Structure 1
Amino acid sequence: MKKIVLLLLFFSLYYGQNIFAQKRTVSGLVTSADDKRPLSGVSIKVKGLDEGAVTNTDGSFQIVIRNGKYLVFSFVGYDSQEVEIDGTTQFNISLKPSGNALNEVQIVGSRNANRTKINSASPVDVIDIKPLLESSPQVSVTQILQYVSPSFHSVNGSNAGDAGSALSLAQLRGLGPDQVLVLVNGKRRHKSANVNYGGLGNGSTGYDLNSIPTGSIDRIEILRDGAAAQYGSDAIAGVINIVLKKNTGDLVVNSTGSVRKRGDGAVTRTNANYGVAIGDNGGYINATVEYGTQAIALPAGNSTAGLYNGPIYGGGANTRGYDAIYTQAIDEAILKARGIDRHFFDQRGGGANAGQDALLFFNAAVPLKQSAEIYAFGGISSRNSQFTATYRLPGWTSRNNNFIYPDGFLPAMENNIVDASLAAGIRGKVNGWNVDLSNVYGKNNFGNRVDNSLNASLGLTSPTSFDDGSYNASQNTASLDFSRYFNKVLKGLNIAFGVQDRVESFQIKAGELASYQKGDQRNIYNVDTTASGLTYLSAAGTTSLNGLAAGSQIHLGFQPANAVSVSRSITAGYADVELNVTQAWLVSAAGREEYYTDFGNVFTYKVASRYSFDRWLNIRGSINTGFRAPDLAQSYYTSISTTFQQGRGVDILTASNQSAAARALGIPKLSPERSKGYALGLTSEPIGNVEITVDAYQIDVANRIGNTGSFTSTDNNLPADVKNLFQQTGAAQANFFYNEFSTRTRGIEFTGSYKVLLNNGSITFLAGGNFDKNTVTKVNTPKGLDAYKNVILSASERARVTTNIPAQKINFQGIYSTGKYTFLARTVYFGKVTTATLLSAADPLNPVYYYQNLHSIWVTDISAGYKFTSKLQGTIGVNNLFNILGDYSSPVIAGLRNPTVVGIQNGSAGIQPFIRLTAHF
């Protein structure tokens, strides 16, 4: 509560001195010069100020003026017009269509270029990136959205395991990372090749939003409603559309540095954006380069968080406490003799991985004759991320070789992620129709290298660095889209339709032999005799001579048997109709048919409506069906990773859904997830410059894909093929991808904004909240596995989809600009969560879990900016001003290490001051 009070007091100091400043209201009507029809969604701004207004559905507008000499009217497809205010209070403006009147997706969720977020039939957030890049502490796309969008959730990827730690996946309305679709400039973007392991979104693939430089983004549109009928697979929870910059003539350089309270986890991020005009008819090329670094971070919390307090050099370390034979005094004597202390064995990666990013993006368009243009956008990024796992102590005789690492070792997984994309197309008018022909290609490649490690089973011959192999995913999408607005059909009819062909591929490349080899395997032979009595030897399999861990520690390399190269084709057709039955009543409908070469046809639809009683009240609602096609990676991915259960290292196999072992268990091949969504809401502009939206929703998703819990090698009831899988890989546990459960998500969300132009500046208040509840409505237990229902959907996986994401999130933010100063203050509420951690799988049918409740937290940010000149601004501020850490992990879970901050609500590791410079050249 004190954060809210602080926020209100903070802004009242500045708002109060200007609230009674002299002001006047001007109003008017904006129409199209060619057909005299009213234009809704036209932007009206006071020249020199950022804030303004937009026209209503009838073309009318009203704006409060406190200072300024000119009004600027701008709208897509029309020439901008500037008029002098002088003493005029009523304006009738007629905008002329531009010579290059092209239809763009201005607001995601509608293919009508006149649509705005307030008069849309579905809830849409439009987030202007510019003020956030100047004032907010966050520098990555996902973290910027985490602190401004109440329905959006993402935490730093190090809360996941292995390669998943390199990503910060996006989630909407509490659903999975693979149930949200990402577009760039209205075109489908390709996914990451990685299958997330551990953490939120376990077993899912998602979009690597952080491969797009923040400096290249003009705004981000978030459609908070199902839209598979409009855009295709994945759009169950909603759609995120990233709109790139296209401005010219202004070189902007933005550089940020921050560090944590303990001096660790330093972050730097610098980007430069510049655009060049092409010709005299609106052509442009806008390019952005960005470079960032992330230093290694300590575990969140106090200076002893994560400190190991059990046996270090004794045999069987981390499997038991000290005993009468091996005492702590012995450990301390060895540590002293070696000149180190217990902090030498601290874990790293406490909420942030070490890494560096280099990104390049561009956006371009060249006008042609007869209202057409060629356009292109895309980029390439190279991102390196280092994930360090649990320290392998010198006493771990099965996982360490003391001749190579006398003090044990901290293995590091080095992920090199190369992401490339290119979109190109031509769009224009043909016989009154807007036509858009495009092709978008994208590829994401994950290279895996393990350093400072060893293959214990190879003994002294083991290397300490390994090439673990790589995997990649690509997508090529060709589209032909048509749309047209008929202004004489009732009060306006917009028709859009199109076809699409998409090819997706997934590939795994094997690592080097030492990265997966079981070096102590030896052949076993039986002694037998022939019918004539001759003795001979017959092969009887293999056995481990010493039981030492195989493969590179932290993550085993991909074996040749894991290597795959697969692809599929998808063809689709859609139709999208939007009709203004009256000036107040809008109805829309969309249908989409898709054909997948690997599982057949899918049809989805959506209907929506909005009724405007007046400016102060619009009612809207929608019904939609959706689907998510299983990703190729989920069908074919296989890997072995090490996890720690009560201090014991356990190698877990993630087995391919296509494997013989999956069929032997009775697990079928993956099929699409299906969804039904319902929404009902209202929007309101009760007074000038105030916008309010409230929307309730329900989303039912059937047959969701996830990772099963772990089947154990000691379970004698498993089929022979599954037992052979354990024998071949050396893994102790295995899980599988499967359409294992169905869920229902219910929630309500609200947004509000208040914009005020002041005598010498402006103030913007934003508020938002999302309150949802996820429940599992069904568990799909394969035939013959009824006894394994607690393994098919494990308690930890159930928690990930129901209680690991805050069910309540509230945002309050204000930005105040006056003269040379800009101030930001905001506070974000993250609701309580509950985790479920596996303690023991000794009983294969009833694994034991520990549940921990993590209380709600408020995280507050502040910043202050100063313009040294009109071209140079400096900003200082703090993320997590009050150093809110959240709850520490339970000692039961921590085992022989001190508890650390869990951090799955917001990924915060405590207070983090920052400094930023923004320069225009």
Structure 2
Amino acid sequence: MKTTLFLLLAILASFTAFSQSIKGKITDEKNGSGLPGVSILIQSTNNGTVTDSEGNFSLNAPDGSYNLVISFIGYTPKIVPIIVSAGQSPAANFSMSESSELLSEIVVTGSRSGGRSRIDSPVPVDIIPVSQITNNVGQVDINQILTYVAPSFQSSRQTISDGSDHIDPAQLRGLGPDQVLVLVNGKRRHQSSLVNVNGTVNRGTVGTDLNAIPATAVDKIEILRDGAAAQYGSDAIAGVINIILKSRTGLSGNVSYGQNVTSYDKNYVLNNGKDGSVNISDGGTAQVGLNYGLKIGPKGFLNITGEFVNREATNRTGTYTGQIFPAAGNIIIDEDLLAAQKITRNAFDMRIGNSKVRGGGVVMNANIPLSENIEVYAFGGYNKKEGNAAGFYRYPNSIPAAVRSSVLSIYRLGFLPEINSDVTDISAAAGFRGKMGQWKFDLSNTFGKNDFDYTISNSVNYTQAVSSSTFQTEFNAGGNGFSQNTINLDLGRKFDVLYGLNVAVGAEQRTDKYTITAGEESSYKNYDVAAGVAAGAQVFSGFFPQNAGSHSRSSVAGYIDLEQDITKAWVLSGALRFENYSDFGNTLNYKLATRYKITDGIALRASASSGFRAPSLQQRYYAKTNTLFVTQNGQQVPQESGTFTNDSRPAEILGIPKLKQETSQSYTVGTTIQLSNAFELTVDAYQIDIDDRIVLTNNFNDGGNASLKAQLAAANATTANFFSNAVDTRSRGIESVLSYNTKFGGNQSLRAVLAGTFIQNKVKKDAAGKPIIHASDILVQTNQVNTYFNREDLSRFEIASPKNKQSLTINYNIGKLGLMLRAVRFGEVTYWDPTIDPTKPDSWPVNSLTGQKETLDQTFDARIVTDVNINYSLVKGINVSIGANNVFDVYQEKHTHSGNVSLGRFIYSRRVQQMGVNGRYVFARVNFNF
């Protein structure tokens, strides 16, 4: 393989073509200074460069007429014509004017014909200039930045959800985290090894850890809001997120600190619904980022970023109102014991909020020309973070009687077990690209790896404590790993057909590997079966040796992509992609897209495509026993639930089929209106049909089946769940962006961006309105279809995430002073309880607060979160800012139903969330750029 690569490199390096040098300088229109790091690209090619530290550039091109695409974050992009003729070196000196447009720039995602302006793209693409907007916001990670800038993107931090406390799942268009493809510099990014298995939104999915990429390293993010599996492969059902790393030269960075300063009703339930507010400050977050870029030769660069973040935990627990200590006979003596020990119920608080996370990373991005026609590039990063989160409190009364005295000899007041995570993320990509004759080429290899290891502390394995007061309190519970290696060869050429035909062809080979590492023996073993107490470390039992091991698969793909400029106004594109997977077979997908300019400022666009998502290896092979707290008779009770693979004996007994790919059909139609440089409007409507959506089922008991009971007992479990292709869905929505940008008074500017998305996600239903569930005959015959997929599962698809979100951002600048005001409206969300029948009021439980019978369902009204920021340029290159996120300290509605209030502990829902429950966050930041 190495010999072949070196031979290919030698052949490509030996190629030369007669060309002239385009030289010029890019300057700031306002002050005439040279702009470093400006991108200059010959349109519809990969031939481009960036300006040096003084704004100068040089670019070789054969004789002919071209359009130069000139773009730079924070400035209005330009497309200018230029003629290259023999014996001449055309001068290309241009000035650029500042533009604060948040969602407009030259884009490359979604098209293989070279850069187009976003307004000219045949598919909707948002451009998020991360390196610019971080001056004005308190968010320090990519997930939270995108949540407040791009309405179609949603990420809420989870709580009391095991590993999901440490890696934030994210959605695009309300679909799953694994139905959006993430790219870095146009190359596929690997997923996390974490499977979201608890009862949160996105249950059963596997996402990409965007926060493993330091925001300081990111230049901009392109969000393609359209199906793109025919172009990029698996996962691109909802769209594509392309993270483009910085390539600038010079030194830049930032230092920030902030914390939550807030008030919430901690004692709401304890005070029988009356005000019980407390004032707190927590969640202190310190962040330091440093970026340095230097030139390598006349056209190359090396850019390196380092970032460190230390985020303290937040806690929005309510005061526990239930029984704490064992009763004396039939008499509850909690208050007497609390008084005698001179403590209050606050000593038994849970930790319900953001986990504690401490970590950092390094990112490198480099591009080095080897000749006039060939360059080598490389990028990658290393990120490591350590997290700490807690589970449910184990009160003295809730500790099994068989081990109570032993456990209380160590934990006098019971214990709050903790999950400690150690997450390591590594990525590396390298390749050659350039021109060979009339063809441009890109040959690359991309590798990524994510390891997630668990240590459980402040815990106990009850079966160790049955006969001894000496027992282990910290456990190595094992972990998961996922790696991916992708080899790509992409070829493209522009043909002189009509107004230009771009032909792209390519091939891809990918290998995925998933591993489970067993925990130490005491983290999972049952040392005393006869005692009848739960085995394994409390809160998170270790992975079993029989489930440990490695699993891999490979795939190969080939594609063709055509983009034809039929006239100056009409563009038509199409793509076809074939893939073969070693574990489930073949798939063939297509895409068609078009854009037609009615006038210079008004265009129509539309697309149709098919797509697919291969079941992740994590979904195929994840197997573990978890302690889940489920609602029974209005109480949260622990249950040992085993997740089994689809080829296991329990799956066979229950008739659970093997996993297959999800398939989709997408349609988009929209318009773009640009009446002037100041005003721009885009509106796009879409429909996405997805068949065979993969879900994590609910928990099946043995149902009297002796064989299943034995299988569960061997896994220390009382119930079993599985991943399965359970339902079909239809998603519809409208997305719109309206922007206005103007300058006045010599040194003043104003920009406003109003963006919104309106989403309707539905599980497909029969004529009677009942969900169509792909359940086996065995489940139907044994009346277990509701266990397979229940109404809470239905709500996660349809109403548990905001159905709409709108944002208004206003930036005003006068001289060195800048002001930012942003309001984001998170639409309503709804929780549906799985345990009741909404058509039978007599069976409803009584609400402990109101005394009335209720369904346990609840709709949480929309909320508006307002952010403000003031920034000031002290001297050239140094900017300071202060601000507040959620300045009015808005929380989502409190729970009103007994089950999830959970005896006072959960004031706010952990099942459905809009913008989190941390309240006001105040911050200060210093940015520098030299």
Same fold (TM over 0.5): yes
Deviation at 1:84, TM superposition (A): 7.1
Structure 2 residue aligned with 1:895: 902
CA deviation map 1:836-870 (0-9, x unaligned):
244589xxxx9998321111111110000112221
CA deviation map 1:784-815 (0-9, x unaligned):
21122211112221111111111111011022
Deviation at 1:31, TM superposition (A): 9.6
Seen in structure 2, the aligned counterparts of structure 1 residues 41 and 794 have a Cα distance that, compared at 3 Å, is: farther
- Among 768, 773, 776, the residue aligned to 2:755: 768
CA deviation map 1:521-558 (0-9, x unaligned):
1xxxxxxxxxxxxxxxxxxxxxxx22222110111100
Percent of aligned pairs sharing the same letter:
39
Contact 2:660 2:725 in 1 (8 A): yes
Contact 2:395 2:414 in 1 (8 A): yes
Structure 1 residue aligned with 2:139: 138
Contact 1:578 1:589 in 2 (8 A): yes
Q: Which amino acid aligns with 1:682?
A: T
- Among 297, 304, 321, the residue aligned to 2:314: 297
Structure 1 residue aligned with 2:646: 657
Structure 2 residue aligned with 1:512: 520
CA deviation map 1:151-201 (0-9, x unaligned):
11111133x610111111221111111100000000000000010122121
Structure 1 residue aligned with 2:717: 731
| Alignment of 1:685 onto 2:670 | no
- Among 538, 543, 554, the residue aligned to 1:569: 554
Stretch deviating more after TM superposition (800-809 or 730-739): 730-739
Deviation at 1:904, TM superposition (A): 0.8
Cα distance in 2 for partners of 1:775, 1:167 equals 27
Cα distance in 2 for partners of 1:898, 1:633 equals 32
**CA RMSD of superposed structures (Å):** 2.5
Contact 1:51 1:757 in 2 (8 A): no
Secondary structure at 1:250 match in 2? strand
Contact 1:121 1:609 in 2 (8 A): yes
5 Å-filtered alignment, 1:850-869, equals 850-869=856-875
Structure 2 residue aligned with 1:503: 511
Cα distance in 2 for partners of 1:42, 1:215 equals 23
CA deviation map 1:194-246 (0-9, x unaligned):
10122121111010000000000000000000000000000000000000001
Q: Which amino acid aligns with 1:476?
A: N
Cα distance in 2 for partners of 1:819, 1:600 equals 61
Secondary structure at 2:283 match in 1? coil
Seen in structure 2, the aligned counterparts of structure 1 residues 37 and 768 have a Cα distance that, compared at 3 Å, is: farther
Structure 2 residue aligned with 1:283: 300
Seen in structure 2, the aligned counterparts of structure 1 residues 877 and 84 have a Cα distance that, compared at 3 Å, is: closer
Deviation at 1:446, TM superposition (A): 0.5
Stretch deviating more after TM superposition (431-440 or 128-137): 128-137
Secondary structure at 2:120 match in 1? coil
Q: Which amino acid aligns with 1:794?
A: N
| Alignment of 1:338 onto 2:355 | no
| Alignment of 1:470 onto 2:479 | yes
Structure 2 residue aligned with 1:312: 324
Contact 1:442 1:474 in 2 (8 A): yes
Cα distance in 2 for partners of 1:485, 1:290 equals 41
Structure 1 residue aligned with 2:15: none
Secondary structure at 1:850 match in 2? coil
Seen in structure 2, the aligned counterparts of structure 1 residues 898 and 253 have a Cα distance that, compared at 3 Å, is: closer
Contact 2:817 2:872 in 1 (8 A): yes
CA deviation map 1:88-141 (0-9, x unaligned):
xxxxxxxxxxxxxxxx99421001113221111110001111222111121110
Seen in structure 2, the aligned counterparts of structure 1 residues 112 and 331 have a Cα distance that, compared at 3 Å, is: same
Secondary structure at 2:527 match in 1? coil
- Among 420, 437, 452, the residue aligned to 2:426: 420
Secondary structure at 1:791 match in 2? helix
- Among 36, 58, 67, the residue aligned to 1:39: 67
Cα distance in 1 for partners of 2:364, 2:715 equals 45
Cα distance in 2 for partners of 1:203, 1:80 equals 57
Structure 2 residue aligned with 1:641: 626
CA deviation map 1:684-727 (0-9, x unaligned):
102223221101100000001010121124x22xx444222222
Deviation at 1:467, TM superposition (A): 0.4
| Alignment of 1:782 onto 2:789 | no
Cα distance in 2 for partners of 1:127, 1:586 equals 25
Deviation at 1:438, TM superposition (A): 0.3
Deviation at 1:39, TM superposition (A): 2.6
Stretch deviating more after TM superposition (872-881 or 696-705): 872-881
Cα distance in 2 for partners of 1:687, 1:870 equals 31
Q: Which amino acid aligns with 1:811?
A: S
- Among 368, 378, 381, the residue aligned to 1:379: 381
Structure 2 residue aligned with 1:97: none
Cα distance in 2 for partners of 1:656, 1:847 equals 35
Cα distance in 1 for partners of 2:204, 2:531 equals 33
Cα distance in 2 for partners of 1:813, 1:79 equals 42
| Alignment of 1:695 onto 2:681 | no
Cα distance in 2 for partners of 1:373, 1:762 equals 40
Contact 1:347 1:389 in 2 (8 A): yes
Give the unaligned 5+ runs of structure 1: 1-20, 22-29, 61-77, 87-103, 300-304, 316-322, 522-544
Seen in structure 2, the aligned counterparts of structure 1 residues 834 and 635 have a Cα distance that, compared at 3 Å, is: same
Cα distance in 2 for partners of 1:601, 1:394 equals 56
Cα distance in 2 for partners of 1:82, 1:394 equals 76
5 Å-filtered alignment, 1:124-135, equals 124-135=125-136
Cα distance in 2 for partners of 1:164, 1:899 equals 18
TM-score, length basis structure 2: 0.83
CA deviation map 1:633-656 (0-9, x unaligned):
101101122222323222222222
Deviation at 1:257, TM superposition (A): 2.8
Cα distance in 2 for partners of 1:377, 1:108 equals 18
- Among 474, 486, 490, the residue aligned to 2:498: 490
Secondary structure at 1:800 match in 2? helix
Deviation at 1:364, TM superposition (A): 0.5
Structure 1 residue aligned with 2:811: 815
Cα distance in 1 for partners of 2:313, 2:212 equals 20
Deviation at 1:510, TM superposition (A): 0.6
Secondary structure at 2:146 match in 1? helix
- Among 422, 425, 431, the residue aligned to 2:437: 431
Cα distance in 2 for partners of 1:35, 1:425 equals 28
Secondary structure at 1:274 match in 2? strand
Stretch deviating more after TM superposition (892-901 or 682-691): 892-901
Structure 1 residue aligned with 2:358: 356
CA deviation map 1:273-325 (0-9, x unaligned):
11111112x211101111111112111xxxxx52111111115xxxxxxx983
Seen in structure 2, the aligned counterparts of structure 1 residues 193 and 84 have a Cα distance that, compared at 3 Å, is: closer
Give the unaligned 5+ runs of structure 2: 1-29, 31-40, 44-60, 83-88, 98-104, 263-279, 765-771, 838-842, 846-854
Deviation at 1:41, TM superposition (A): 4.9
Secondary structure at 1:297 match in 2? coil
Structure 2 residue aligned with 1:165: 165
Cα distance in 1 for partners of 2:823, 2:96 equals 38
Q: Which amino acid aligns with 1:765?
A: A
Structure 1 residue aligned with 2:767: none
Q: Which amino acid aligns with 2:360?
A: A
Cα distance in 1 for partners of 2:67, 2:590 equals 29
Stretch deviating more after TM superposition (670-679 or 680-689): 680-689
Structure 2 residue aligned with 1:101: none
Seen in structure 2, the aligned counterparts of structure 1 residues 658 and 762 have a Cα distance that, compared at 3 Å, is: farther
Structure 2 residue aligned with 1:268: 286
Cα distance in 1 for partners of 2:682, 2:66 equals 24
Cα distance in 2 for partners of 1:588, 1:915 equals 47
Stretch deviating more after TM superposition (255-264 or 365-374): 255-264
Q: Which amino acid aligns with 1:602?
A: T
Q: Which amino acid aligns with 1:674?
A: T
Stretch deviating more after TM superposition (751-760 or 819-828): 751-760
TM-score, length basis structure 1: 0.84
Contact 1:51 1:756 in 2 (8 A): no
Deviation at 1:450, TM superposition (A): 0.2
Seen in structure 2, the aligned counterparts of structure 1 residues 393 and 31 have a Cα distance that, compared at 3 Å, is: closer
Give the length in aligned residue pairs.
805
